[in-house]
Homo-oligomer: A and B are copies of this chain.
């Protein structure tokens, strides 16, 4: 068994052979703008609907990850991909023309963590040589689906976050150089009763804390064993909750912890309130910024913990609280 508690350690070196990132115009004006492969000038990406635009972003990011990996399309054994849209249509339409065996996954904004974990497991288990993983989201499509029509110009709650437009993808491989995925801690669903869809940070932070605690316990590790610990899209409010709850549990994250939702936007200039969110938030921030820093050995060991809120518009309208989940992935050079 390669598993202890909720955590596994891989026996093979699972290379992240390439990562690709395509983002929308607003992400291209943020602090990470120089890290992304493609910054779209048109949030529709040349399509006639937001949903089709997101699907095209996914298709382009998946193809770009393959190209950057130096692999041929025929060498990719599986695609593992997901998004926020109903029935994950960005992923399925994005992967439709690729002719590669396809596994759809849903972990809301934790999706890239789930996809990387499953991908690394399938590679380590000997079922594939190369696996393409990805996750996408789109600000306009998400606002339309989960909140209000954009045309209403609704006022945003101070606790609300800004869904990142984009797709982050990666080719994982049994062969190749680092950075490597060396382990993972898969999250359980945590629901502390939050019902405010404008406060996803509060719904997801307890799940991140649960996964982080499980990880440190299973690994016998401490926060300082990592150069950086990075949650997915908790933003400023969620980071505060994680810092406090982890502190209470005896884990001091104050020196080496950040959140992708904080990194991707300039809070003051871009007025993104609590920060970035959406499946693409952690996916493009890893693919753009942190993957580059790992490649350059500015970082050598990170714990990447995408977070997701597993509700639907219907479940919230029916008075259900919002379950959260977080999946941790260990990435080393």
Contacts and interface: CB of A to CB of B under 8 A. Distances in A.
Given A49-B318, A52-B318, A121-B121, A95 B313 contact: no
A118 B103 contact: yes
Copies of this polypeptide in the complex: 2
Contact of A118 (B77, B85, B118): B118
A272 to B, nearest CB: 23
Interface string A119-131: 0011011111100
Interface size class of A (residues with CB under 8 A): 35 or more
Contacts of A101: 6, 186-188
Contacts of A318: 48-49, 51-52
Contacts of A84: 87
A187 B101 CA distance: 5
A106 B82 contact: yes
A81 to B, nearest CB: 10
Contacts of A191: 96
Contacts of A325: 92, 102
5 contacts: A102-B186, A102-B325, A105-B106, A125-B126, A145-B314
